[in-house]
Amino acid sequence: MLDKTVDTLAAAVAGVQDGAVILIGGFGASGVPTELVCALLDQGARDLTIVNNNAGNGERGLSQLVRAGRVRKMVCSFARSSDRKNPNAAAFAEAYHAGKIELECVPQGTMAERMRAAGAGLGPFFTPTAFGTPLAKGKETRVIDGVGYVLEAPLKGDFAFVKARTADRWGNLVYRYAGRNFAPVMCMAATTTVAQVDSIVELGAIPPEHVMTPGIFVKRVVQVERDHGI
């Protein structure tokens, strides 16, 4: 019987090695698998490369991992706060200015597509994004039919941590509103995908055409108390 559900957050994040590349879903505070990241803090793996749109917003989760010195490199599109009244990513900023963490700044769509390429079995691809800008520096570029392109490499994770609303034991996932964001593509792009979910339902309870991430992309599912909203 195929049952991907695990009972504890510790079991959900077991096996993460030092030096691992971890894709973490979420956009701002939306769709962030905070409990999985906190479990990773307890698990102990170091020297991590983290791929996330941001660099650790809020008090819990990624910012704690950064503050604990466990992250060697961040791959993200926006490592600053866009909210001046509520500055965050402070832990990252401190580590960055102290030279303790590496940053790879990637255009948001290029980040998503690099993971899609990894998940879809593609090699490097040409994108018009960032052509003629500093973010194309050191990369192969080509002009094809009058359009300039930058060659970008697939971005693969050893693990992906995502948050979904509903799962079944086969790992089929349904997301809530815009909490979906990077999760589906991260599920595709990692060797071991772990989903924290609000609820686990009987097999067949999710109508097949409503499944947003097919369970083939998911290895582990753990239920976490619902904490949407505030």
Binding site for other proteins (CB under 8 A): 27-31, 77-80, 82-83, 92-93, 96-97, 103, 105-110, 112-113, 116, 127-135, 148, 176-185, 212, 228-230
In the chain, the largest separation of any two C-alpha atoms, in whole Å, equals 55
**Between 19 and 109, CB nearer to other proteins:** 109
Shortest Cβ 23–other proteins spacing (Å)? 12
Instruction: Provide the β-strand partners of residue 196.
Output: 163, 222
- Would you say 9 or 130 has its CB closer to other proteins? 130
Nearest approach in angstroms of CB 188 to other proteins is 9
Residue number with CB closer to other proteins (133 or 191): 133
DSSP for 134-175, written as a single string: GGGTTS-EEEETTEEEEEE----EEEEEEEEEEE-TT--EE-
**Can you tell me the distance from the alpha carbon of 216 to that of 32, in angstroms, rounded to the nearest whole number?**
21
- Smallest CA-to-CA distance from 40 within 63, 76, 16 is with 16
Q: Which is nearer to other proteins, 138 or 202 (CB)?
A: 138
CA dist., res. 86 & res. 81, Å (int): 8
DSSP 209: G
Q: How far is the CB of 139 from other proteins (least distance, A)?
A: 13
Whichever of 150 and 221 has its CB closer to other proteins, that residue is: 150
Query: Residue 207 has what DSSP assignment?
Result: -
